Structure 1
């Protein structure tokens, strides 16, 4: 793919259709094509717009020349800010095991792993992790969901904190229920959520791994 030509066309089309976030990120990437942050911003903005995976895939292929560096930068941004939705969405389509490995290398601890059936797709393997805790407050929280067949990330979420309802929770115990703050979630084929607060529930039969 001629990335410069594609970006120029995308910038003009987005501007004409009033999709100003995509237009701005495409313009910035044209100006600084080697900027990893600009590349991440474009992918995130495209997902937020509702762009489907078959349209995102050419950009993933053209821009993710070093997936490890891409994952590392996205996670670094998610550690430094509570509202960086573009960095979150830019992890979609990456290798789930690679994302989990990098998160764990940064100090994230697995809380629990769940497996969810999907109607017309392979099961979703979802791992919940946290970086630190103060009593029953876990902060920040990261959830990485990957397709059990392709292992590509199809569901990714981040919260500033999880306040557990469990009165005597200790690391290693099943979480139960709680309340999330500054919650963001991105899914494939499309789906974008930003919530100030959200409920959290973990079935009692799900064990940490």
Structure 2
């Protein structure tokens, strides 16, 4: 009969596999933050467990850069793996910041809104009120002009979002969470928000390094 430790390991393996399936790919660091946080040996334990699952052919692995940890996935490798991994850091960050009365409702990649396509739609449910707070997630990793402020305002003005499945569950129009790379870029986006956010939508601008440190 399996011991308590073995049963715990089996359960954690299943949770890891389900997370990789849902999010399409996770790195060693992300798996550590989600399932092994709490001790100095957490990353070592995560690497050992992921190696075991890889050797058992439960998962596949690759590196999109020699300086980065392994990415683990099922089936076919995602065509924009680096983009996907950066986006999944947002999922890890949101998960690790859940309050006791909150639970993840959804995290949908590449969410089409008609006027624009969000990099992700995240939903966090309040188990007390039953309402769900939604956020659009945008990864900003270029020096091009950030035009999403104007587009989200157009979406709001068109009322097209009221026909979305999540509108009846939400307590307000979703926050727009923009994850960018440098303080200089954050300042540029904030200036664009000041100029183009005519409807006073809620924008949150955060650096990807800040997210990773908090995870």
TM-score (norm 1): 0.29
| Higher percent of residues as helix | 2
TM-score (norm 2): 0.29
| Higher percent of residues as strand | 1
Bigger Cα Rg = 2
